[in-house]
């Protein structure tokens, strides 16, 4: 195994001919770097940690000595080893290491796959909340709506892409595999809808929702209500209980309103036996924290806009064609997306 030293921090750099990497280096990640960059002019080498600390990608980052542009060394081979490390860290729920390794891959201009981006984004949200996540170790991706959702390994998808509750549509419904006898089975449902923003405060929606719910459920009891931000947009959190045929249910209802003018609402419903809420609600909150709009867009495949002059992504004229409805998380406006661009979004997330 060839060994170099990082010029900046004196950390070891492993250059192994073994495809799976040198085990000594893999067992001591704080002391060894698998990926590194070389200055073609003066020959200094920087480890992955120093490159990450700079915040600039290889190919843009300048040599600290001679200002030449640094180049990655054996990028593809070393990236394969780092990906294996990242997957191992994910299986161990070491989310800080998952995030750091994904960031380092990005700085070496390695294109992360759909699953790797989901792992990185979810790990970042867990770390930001400063709470260990030990339950949600699977990732569900809905390519129709462009939504990603973490969930526990003991759960399964029972339904998806339903439109039988219009104007609400249902991207996915999941439930726990193991059901306790004579108790409500835990479920999580994601719903979407499009609203016109009339300028009313979120409290108006929450009061109206409480009235509607109290008329719909037997022995309804409001437990709590609060306003917060989710994905940078206003979000209403309602917690309540009611009686079902299987017993007393506690439900967490979180509705996030994305956009200005016309809004896309994403509603998370997590329900289960009221007496199990201490175990269930932390899982629900972890799932909510991990909701991701892939590429920063939510697509509403069952709503088509008419009278749109051009596609918001490619700017091609679509004045005579119905276009798919999409909402940019950053721009906050409802946009028309042509058929070709909608298919490109889906293909990118499917790794095509």
Q: Which parts of 113-207 are beta strand (E)?
A: 138-142, 147-151, 155-165, 168-176, 187-196
The whole-number pLDDT of residue 352 equals 34
Tell whether the model's pLDDT for residue 70 goes beyond 60.
yes
Same-domain status, 209 and 278: yes
Q: Where is 65: in which H helix or E strand?
A: none
Same-domain status, 49 and 177: no
Could you tell me which residue, 88 or 136, shows the higher pLDDT?
88
Please list the residues that pair with 264 across neighbouring strands. 194, 258
Same-domain status, 177 and 292: yes
pLDDT band at 94 (very low <50, low <70, confident <90, very high): confident
Tell whether the model's pLDDT for residue 297 goes beyond 50.
yes
- pLDDT tens by residue, 171-215: 999 998 766 567 788 999 999 998 888 888 899 999 999 999 999
Tokens 């590429």 -> residue: 295
- Tokens found for residue 90: 């994910």
Helix (H, G, I), strand (E, B) or coil at 158: strand
- C-alpha of 9 from chain center: 33
Last residue of a domain, one of 272, 296, 320: 296
Tell whether the model's pLDDT for residue 132 goes beyond 60.
no
What is the average pLDDT value for the chain, to the nearest integer? 82
Report the C-alpha gap between 135 and 139 in whole angstroms.
12
Helix (H, G, I), strand (E, B) or coil at 300: strand
Same-domain status, 62 and 188: no
User: Backbone phi, then psi, for 116, in 5-degree steps?
Assistant: -65, -40
For residue 64, the enclosing domain spans 2-91
Same-domain status, 148 and 274: yes
Last residue of a domain, one of 296, 321, 344: 296
Report the C-alpha gap between 220 and 92 in whole angstroms.
41
Q: Is residue 145 part of a domain?
A: yes
Same-domain status, 81 and 160: no
Same-domain status, 41 and 144: no
Mean pLDDT across 113-125: 77
Report the C-alpha gap between 86 and 34 in whole angstroms.
12
Tell whether the model's pLDDT for residue 20 goes beyond 90.
no
Could you tell me which residue, 112 or 68, shows the higher pLDDT?
68
Structural domain count, the chain = 2
């Amino acid at each position: 195994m060839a060994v170099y030293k990082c010029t900046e921090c004196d950390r070891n750099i492993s250059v192994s001919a073994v495809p799976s990497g040198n085990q000594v280096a893999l067992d001591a990640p704080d002391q060894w770097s698998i990926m590194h960059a070389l200055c073609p002019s003066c020959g200094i080498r920087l480890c992955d940690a120093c490159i990450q600390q700079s915040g600039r990608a290889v190919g843009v980052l300048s040599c600290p000595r001679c200002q030449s542009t640094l180049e990655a060394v054996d990028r593809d081979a070393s990236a394969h080893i780092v990906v294996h490390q990242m997957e191992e860290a994910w299986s161990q729920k070491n989310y800080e290491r998952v995030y750091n390794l994904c960031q380092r891959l990005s700085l070496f201009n390695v294109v992360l796959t759909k699953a790797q981006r989901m792992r990185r984004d979810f790990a970042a949200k867990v770390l930001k909340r400063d709470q260990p996540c030990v339950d949600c170790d699977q990732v569900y991706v809905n390519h129709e709506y462009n939504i990603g959702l973490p969930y526990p390994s003991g759960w399964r998808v029972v339904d998806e892409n339903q439109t039988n509750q219009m104007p609400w549509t249902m991207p996915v419904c999941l439930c726990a595999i193991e059901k306790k006898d004579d108790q409500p089975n835990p479920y999580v449902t994601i719903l979407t809808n499009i609203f016109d923003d009339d300028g009313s405060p979120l409290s108006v929606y929450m009061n109206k929702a409480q009235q509607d719910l109290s008329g719909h459920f037997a022995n309804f009891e409001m437990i709590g209500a609060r306003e917060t931000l989710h994905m940078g947009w206003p979000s209403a959190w309602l917690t309540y209980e009611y009686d079902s045929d299987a017993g007393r249910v506690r439900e967490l209802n979180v509705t996030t309103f994305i956009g200005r003018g016309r809004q896309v609402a994403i509603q998370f419903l997590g329900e289960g036996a009221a007496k199990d809420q201490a175990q269930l609600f932390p899982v629900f909150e972890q799932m909510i924290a991990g909701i991701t709009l892939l590429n920063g867009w939510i697509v509403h495949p069952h709503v088509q806009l008419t009278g749109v002059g051009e596609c918001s992504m490619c700017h091609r004229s679509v004045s005579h064609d119905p276009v798919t409805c999409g909402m940019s998380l950053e721009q906050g406006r409802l946009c028309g997306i042509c058929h070709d661009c909608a298919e490109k979004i889906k293909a990118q997330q499917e790794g095509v």
